[in-house]
């Protein structure tokens, strides 16, 4: 399916505000700016939002609020006061490419807090305070179902994020029949700061601004309680990095089987129970 046009347009319905958890860099920033362009009062949560003056807007017209998802005290005390009904975007993320045995205890703890436990605890507070409908837009990753090497922790946390959100839907519908959830699994984005230290061809990756426009148009058109979408980059010659949109979940790819010296897959051992 070809992507929806990313052109900015006003969002229908009664939603007039957006809160972007992790909206200071990369795709989160692009989503925040796109929300602003669609006429939403946009609150941006992030660590680098701290130096900006509150409650006034930053130069881009966004409303910054300091939130450090790796700091339990910050997660407990950051303001969750938002106009209702509102969009809530879970975008915060960081990448780690390391074998698990090479990963430090601190890296495991910090990445888990940033990608999963911190946002879950903060979202718990936001939902408890919401007085009207909430449309939750969750940016997970195609890494939640793709086969990867030396990324077991990152992929596992992204899979946990996606599974958590799918199973949150019945609870949200029980709380308010107009609540909505959009789960987005994007592929590689041209965000060099996200892939620190890796030699990648960012020219063959997706533009965050274009992807942000696609995400918002999907959310604007959503009528069902839950929508899951894959936004993957084309690898066709001449179209490298063009977003390709498809709907529905993907089955996890199995790990590669070990190859024999002749290059044929080795037979898996038979286990007797």
pLDDT at residue 257 is higher than 90: no
The confidence score (pLDDT) of residue 45 equals 96
10 Å Cβ neighbour count for 182?
22
Compute the C-alpha angle 153/141/88, nearest 5°: 110
**Predicted TM-score (pTM) of this structure:** 0.86
Q: Are 231 and 245 in contact (CB under 8 A)?
A: yes
Q: What is the mean pLDDT of residues 103-126?
A: 97
Calpha distance 198→19 (Å, rounded): 31
Question: For 15-27, how does the pLDDT look when each residue is reduced to its tens digit (9 = 90+)?
Answer: 889 999 998 889 9
Dist. CA 83–CA 131, nearest whole Å: 9
Assigned CATH for 17-247: 3.40.50.720
Q: How would residue 2 be classed by pLDDT, with cut points 50, 70 and 90?
A: very low
pLDDT band of 258, cuts 50, 70, 90: low
What is the pLDDT, as a whole number, of residue 205? 87
- Name the helix (H) or strand (E) containing 214: helix 208-221
Average pLDDT of span 240-258:
90
Q: Residue 93 has what pLDDT? A: 85
Cβ(15)–Cβ(85) under 8 Å?
Answer: yes
Mind listing the pLDDT tens digit for each residue in 15-70?
889 999 998 889 999 999 999 999 999 999 998 765 544 455 566 789 999 999 99
DSSP code at position 261: T
The percentage of the chain sitting over the pLDDT mark of 70, rounded to a whole number, equals 81
- Average pLDDT in the chain: 86
pLDDT on residue 4:
42
pLDDT at 94 over 80: yes
> What is the rounded distance in angstroms from the CA atom of residue 265 to the CA atom of residue 233?
29
pLDDT (tens digit per residue) in 193-241: 655 555 556 578 899 999 999 999 999 999 999 999 999 999 888 888 8
């Amino acid at each position: 399916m070809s992507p929806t046009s990313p052109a900015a347009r006003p969002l229908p319905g009664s939603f007039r505000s957006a809160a972007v958890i992790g909206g200071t860099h990369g795709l989160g920033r692009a989503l925040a700016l796109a929300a602003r362009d669609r006429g939403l009062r946009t609150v941006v949560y992030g660590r680098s939002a701290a130096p900006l003056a509150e409650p006034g807007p930053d130069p881009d017209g966004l409303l910054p609020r300091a939130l450090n998802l790796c700091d339990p005290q910050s997660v407990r005390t950051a303001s969750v006061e938002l106009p209702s009904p509102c969009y809530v975007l879970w975008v915060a993320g960081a990448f780690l490419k390391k074998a698990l045995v090479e990963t430090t205890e601190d890296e495991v703890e910090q990445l888990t807090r940033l990608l999963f436990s911190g946002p879950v605890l903060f979202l718990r507070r936001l939902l408890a305070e919401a007085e009207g409908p909430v449309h939750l837009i969750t940016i997970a990753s195609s890494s939640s179902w793709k086969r990867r090497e030396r990324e077991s922790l990152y992929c596992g946390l992204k899979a946990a994020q996606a599974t958590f959100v799918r199973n949150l839907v019945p609870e949200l519908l029980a709380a308010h029949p107009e609540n909505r959830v959009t789960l987005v699994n994007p592929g590689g984005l041209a965000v060099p700061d996200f892939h620190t230290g890796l030699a990648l061809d960012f020219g063959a990756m997706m533009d965050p601004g274009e992807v942000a426009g696609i995400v918002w148009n999907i959310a604007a058109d959503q009528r069902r309680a839950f929508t899951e979408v894959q936004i993957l980059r084309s690898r066709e010659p001449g179209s490298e990095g063009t977003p390709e949109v498809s709907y529905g979940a993907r089955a996890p790819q199995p790990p590669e089987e070990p190859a024999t010296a002749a290059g044929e897959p080795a037979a898996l051992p038979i286990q007797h129970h």
